[in-house]
Structure 1
Amino acid sequence: MKENLLVQYGYTENEGNSALKDLPEVQTHLEPARIIAQHKNYYQAATVHGEIISHLSGRYLFANGAAGGFPVVGDYVRVKVSEEKDRAVIHELLPRKTMFYRRNNFDKSELQVLAANFDTVFICMALNRDFNLTRLERYVIMARESGAAIAIVLTKADLCADPDSQAIICEAVCPGIPIYTVSAQEMTGMEQLHPYFGKGKTVIALGSSGVGKSSLVNALFGEAVMETSEVRAGDDKGRHTTVHRQMIVLPGGGLYLDTPGLREVGIADAAGSVSEQFADLEELQLQCKFKDCRHEQETGCAVQLALEEGKLTPDRLAKYRKLLKESAFNKVKNRHLYEKWQASKAFSKQMKKRKKER
């Protein structure tokens, strides 16, 4: 018997989406659905009836418009399906287990949620002239905030003379994160990524335009399901081939969430992840003689001593300070959205801990 589309897109009432199972059934006329594509004026949703064009209800727009709590690709929602089963109205957003967000480029004091309910973040970076470690660190910091697992995928290995050396450089900047070098053009290294795409598991691909995210999904799928384009010859910068976020079901049952390239990753309220990314600096600061050390000219400053001994570079210290300052500065207006998400993340960690203890 063929699975219905909603199940194909990861919906389950067992563990994996326990948040859905525990919700009270207060509106029995509503059905579960998952947002699988987001367009300017409508959504595509996977339901038990198939793929349906969906719109937000007027009440939802009024209640959530100012708060920024609109559904995004990957979200589970509750909808009212038309009698013809060809249209649906979104009435409710279900709790998110993971979420990728950044500072809103149009309103610097708000969060912009880009995707939700994924299991792994693929941070994609091309091994050509667009290789940028500073940008990579920004992506890693925001990926840590999402609550999902992280893997770094170095694409276009066929354009690099020594991809293994570049991987070692990335490992020094992002220790503990799995790093894979692949070439979608030559179909090399792709087998390393297959374990992430277990049945019903969702992977989101993030990266700048032109890093090869769409080529990656084509290679994983085995045929061209996403349009691709060449990068500019002058600087290897890419054009936006993917113009909206969408989910694709791979032959093995895994889910790939493709996203347009991000030109900017504005960090907001991510001090914890900044500290995690710069754990070496956090450890150094604990060794200072005075607890209120500003790490400038104080006696017994472990940070300044590390600089003098060459164990810490001025560039790394400057980046750490800049990112902490940016995170603190970009406080969001919609605090209740952020706080609700943090509470959800804490609950998710608690549930994972309980499962391990069983």
Structure 2
Amino acid sequence: MNELMNLGFQPFFEDQLTQTEWTIGRIATASNGIYKILSGTGDIQGRLSGKFHHDVQTMRDFPCVGDWVLFKNLPNENKGIIQQVFKRKTLLSRQAAGDKQEEQLMAANIDTVFLVNALNKDFNLRRMERYLTQVYESGASPVFILTKKDLSPDAAEKVAAVESIAFGVPVLSINTFDQDDLTKVKTFIQSGKTISLIGSSGVGKSTLINSLLGYEIQKTGGVREEDSKGRHTTTHRELFVIPEGGIIIDTPGMRELQLWVDEETTSEAFQDIKKLATDCRFRDCKHLREPGCAIKNAIDLGTLAPERYQSYLKLQNEARFLDLKEEHGVHRAAKIQGKERRKQNNK
């Protein structure tokens, strides 16, 4: 059981164990129906049982990286048949590409998510707000890791900007090759706890993982000089065990994160706007032309950036559209949301 605890097996999962006929393992990679499973007795190549395939109803039912599973060992083979997925503690997911209402699972059972962003020309607060919103939806704890501070002459100013949108969220600015900075990052890594890294291409996720593992496991790529945007180096999600203790999951870089959230979750990442709204004169204030609107007043006074408020509205609209798509389908949802906007604008 100690080996499983080192892989992140916690009482939350142990309480779900009702039989010991099958073996416990954790999904390290998943590709085309083939899974790499880490267990107390070594690595296993796994696939799903026929019954499992028959019983699944949605994409969420399939195992993803970070999941705990029960599998049946095949005699005299280093292979196993997955029989069951444990109930997840947390789940990081996104909206799949295209018009179809479908969730794409990124990683499961994460304790802490490192939102990795670079302090270079690709620095983007609005993108960070999107990532933060998705982490809140997952149930994991967020930590901002701002890389390449040695290459940014205005690093302190950018760190302050991130702190202004990340209420109560730790914000670290680091040089990945500086041991003192790495020590700060390691304070968020504990034995038996799982962290995941998300961020755009070229922000230094793979370099950071290599530094934390103590050896090169992930390829690193260059950054285009004209816009500081990186090339994709990580092509799949993978779970690694850190020699000093802890588990880390890397994910491919994303230029644009399509959210899979509800409207309530977006408010968690915009606590300042949520608080301002409670100070409006009218409880049903739409923050358009109403007198006594605290949000409009804050924008006029310069205490709330209009870009941040527009970002909030955009994410709220996306979350609303997801809800409507699930209930009515994409075309009907577009009509309903268009009607809602026209009604708002005419008030």
User: Above 0.5 in TM-score?
Assistant: yes
Residue in structure 1 matched with residue 344 of structure 2 by the alignment: none
Residue in structure 1 matched with residue 279 of structure 2 by the alignment: 287
SS in 2 for 1:256: strand
Cα 1:303–1:165 change in 2 (3 A) is: closer
Alpha-carbon distance in 1 for matches of 2:7, 2:78: 18
2:76 aligned with 1:78: no
Question: Greater CA deviation, 162-171 or 126-135?
Answer: 162-171
What is the CA RMSD across the aligned residues, in angstroms?
2.1
Residue in structure 2 matched with residue 274 of structure 1 by the alignment: 266
Q: Is the 8 A contact 1:49 1:85 kept in 2?
A: no
Cα shift readout 1:75-124 (whole Å, capped 9, x = no counterpart): 00111111124001111110111110111114542221210111110000
Shift of 1:212: 0.8
SS in 1 for 2:217: coil
Residue in structure 2 matched with residue 257 of structure 1 by the alignment: 249
Residue in structure 1 matched with residue 335 of structure 2 by the alignment: none
Cα 1:71–1:106 change in 2 (3 A) is: farther
Shift of 1:62: 2.8
2:7 aligned with 1:9: yes
Question: Greater CA deviation, 55-64 or 74-83?
Answer: 55-64
Residue in structure 1 matched with residue 236 of structure 2 by the alignment: 244
SS in 2 for 1:29: coil
Q: Which of 14, 19, 33 does residue 12 from structure 2 map onto?
A: 19
Residue in structure 1 matched with residue 42 of structure 2 by the alignment: 50
Q: Is the 8 A contact 1:109 1:332 kept in 2?
A: no
Q: Is the 8 A contact 2:111 2:195 kept in 1?
A: yes
**Counterparts of 1:1-358 in structure 2 under 5 Å?**
4=3, 6-11=4-9, 17-23=10-16, 25=18, 28-64=20-56, 66-331=58-323
Shift of 1:56: 1.3
Alpha-carbon distance in 1 for matches of 2:303, 2:241: 47
Shift of 1:19: 3.0
Cα shift readout 1:178-232 (whole Å, capped 9, x = no counterpart): 1111112444511101122211111101101111111001111222222212122
Alpha-carbon distance in 2 for matches of 1:310, 1:253: 46
TM-score (normalised: structure 2): 0.88
1:314 partner letter: P
Structure 1 runs not aligned, ≥5 long: 12-16, 336-358
Structure 2 runs not aligned, ≥5 long: 328-347
Q: Is the 8 A contact 1:52 1:85 kept in 2?
A: no
Alpha-carbon distance in 2 for matches of 1:278, 1:3: 40
Shift of 1:274: 1.4
TM-score (normalised: structure 1): 0.85
**Matched residues, number:** 327
Q: Is the 8 A contact 1:268 1:328 kept in 2?
A: no
SS in 1 for 2:107: strand
2:36 partner letter: Q
Cα 1:65–1:134 change in 2 (3 A) is: same
1:268 partner letter: W
2:70 partner letter: R
1:111 partner letter: E
Alpha-carbon distance in 1 for matches of 2:303, 2:185: 35
Alpha-carbon distance in 1 for matches of 2:231, 2:57: 31
Alpha-carbon distance in 2 for matches of 1:208, 1:57: 35
